[in-house]
Structure 1
Amino acid sequence: MNQSSSSTPTPRGRRLVRHVPLAIILVAAVVGYVTLREHITFETLREHREMLLAFRDSHFAALTAAFITTYVVIVAFSLPGAAVASVTGGFLFGLVLGTVFNVTAASLGAIAIFLAARWGLGAALAARIETSDGRLKRLKERLHDNEISVLFLMRLVPAVPFFVANLLPALVGVRFRNFVLTTVLGIIPGAIVFTWIGVGLGEVFDRGDTPDLSLLWEPQIIGPILGLAALAALPMLIKAIRGKRDI
């Protein structure tokens, strides 16, 4: 009886266990940045391009599974190389399939890190905010009123790092279904651009060049994306105007 009760985790122990997944992700992110940033590069892809293309032609399903799994791990553990992975998707699978695989993998990785953060630190912070008074609670209420618009903005504005858009919503208690919806739809424009770059990667390698990811900032590319961001912000603007009229 005593042995059984002593082996039961204490409330404090259970709280600490809930932080383990996020702690593992943070440690993996630091270790990955130090050890992998020199290896997951376009130069590595250039060196192995023929092998990858040959493997794709002979084992398409296996390469698809390996690609998606690798990309999910990169995103879930915030490892370096997400941009390289997105471009690789276009290089190996073309624009349509590459975009589908990129969006699928990036979304699954984002969901994994969101759940890990919300299960531990996010749950504690959300509960603390819920029981608080004053400005902090009002900010949370306004966030919930405009949750989809804010989440779309975080996905569409290129200045917001991807890992921030994954972690921050979990820490402030946004609805899971809204996170999934805005993640899947919100990353499509950027995924198309990176996949598109990958489609022409073979020609870039043949010239001895390196892919130019600054294409994302060209007016004809960034303009429509910012236009989508403006549309995402429009409901918040309308609510703000109506609120002022009611005062």
Structure 2
Amino acid sequence: MNASTLRRLLPVAILLVGLAIFLLLGLERYFSYEMLARHKATLTAWVAAHRVLAAIAFMLVYAVMVAFSLPVAIVATPVGGFLFGTWPGAFLSVVGATAGSIAVFLAARYAFRDLFRARAGTRLARFEEGFRTDDFSYLLSLRLVPIFPFWLVNIVPALLGMRLRRYVPATMLGIAPAAVVYSSVGSGLGLVLKRGEQPDLGIVFEWRILLPLMGLAALSLVPVIYRQLRRKRET
């Protein structure tokens, strides 16, 4: 492996090493609802006294969680709703998650895109061309319905040549609805923790929530379907 390849792999290696250290040291225990219940009075008092600093810190921590694909990121949005309220918490979560996603996107593109294209050859070129024509709509639909792992949806657009300037707004718009749902769950987190319970994060997969998200995802694909039908008529 030459020096150029090592340099390309370095960003991804850093993210993977960070994830490994987090898991090996068992640091997830510090990002649990039990820990929040234990320290919620101190934490809420600090947030109330330093709201701007707390908001910046929250976004930075969220970005790190997403960038390193830490298995505790799903806890962050409800906590944001608990600390800042539904709408501010959702906004801060979207910004933090998007920042972390950008780090993964850039690392994957820098490390693997050329290798991926070299291995896939002409087959990828044809698929990539089709994806890039409607990449915004495709990514938006994938973000709206949280079926695929978040880290995977961060990586695939990078390998298929999506532009960062399109990736960012599609990510922000796509994750916003679920962020509002999770943040609203977190806004009532104080009472839930007081009862010694944990919030139901599976709420996003209930039909009353999932159906509207699926509807939005379907609407986001309308331009794709329209363009494909127009091409067929023209050929």
SS at match of 2:85: helix
**2:72 paired with 1:93:** no
Residues 135-166 of structure 1, C-alpha deviation per residue, up to 9 Å, x if partnerless? 33211111111111111122112111111111
**Counterpart in 2 of 1:187?**
175
**Counterpart in 2 of 1:75?**
66
**Counterpart in 1 of 2:5?**
15
Gaps of 5+ in 1: 1-10
Structure 1 stretch displaced more, 32-41 or 84-93: 32-41
Tell whether the 8 Å contact from 1:107 to 1:183 is kept in structure 2 after alignment: yes
Residues 171-202 of structure 1, C-alpha deviation per residue, up to 9 Å, x if partnerless? 22211111111011111001101110110001
Match of 2:218 among 197, 222, 230: 230
What amino acid does structure 1 have at the position aligned with 2:227? K
Q: CA deviation at 1:98?
A: 0.7
**Counterpart in 2 of 1:6?**
none
SS at match of 1:178: helix
Taking the aligned partners of 1:174 and 1:33, their CA distance within structure 2 comes to 31
Taking the aligned partners of 1:78 and 1:149, their CA distance within structure 2 comes to 24
Tell whether the 8 Å contact from 2:132 to 2:160 is kept in structure 1 after alignment: no
Q: Which has the larger radius of gyration?
A: 1
Gaps of 5+ in 2: none
Q: What TM-score, normalized by structure 2, do the two folds share? A: 0.92
Tell whether the 8 Å contact from 1:122 to 1:172 is kept in structure 2 after alignment: yes
Identical aligned residues as a percent: 40
| 1:38-53 matches, cutoff 5 A | 38-53=29-44
Q: CA deviation at 1:41?
A: 1.4
**2:206 paired with 1:206:** no
Tell whether the 8 Å contact from 1:36 to 1:80 is kept in structure 2 after alignment: no
| 1:55-204 matches, cutoff 5 A | 55-126=46-117, 128=118, 132-133=121-122, 135-204=123-192
What amino acid does structure 1 have at the position aligned with 2:91? V
**Counterpart in 2 of 1:7?**
none
**Counterpart in 2 of 1:4?**
none
SS at match of 2:2: helix
Where do 4+ consecutive residues of structure 1 move more than 3 Å? none
What amino acid does structure 1 have at the position aligned with 2:149? P
Q: CA deviation at 1:124?
A: 3.6
Task: Output the aligned Cα RMSD.
Answer: 1.8
What amino acid does structure 1 have at the position aligned with 2:180? I
Taking the aligned partners of 1:235 and 1:61, their CA distance within structure 2 comes to 40
Structure 1 stretch displaced more, 185-194 or 37-46: 37-46
Q: CA deviation at 1:129?
A: 7.0
SS at match of 1:38: helix
Tell whether the 8 Å contact from 2:144 to 2:175 is kept in structure 1 after alignment: yes
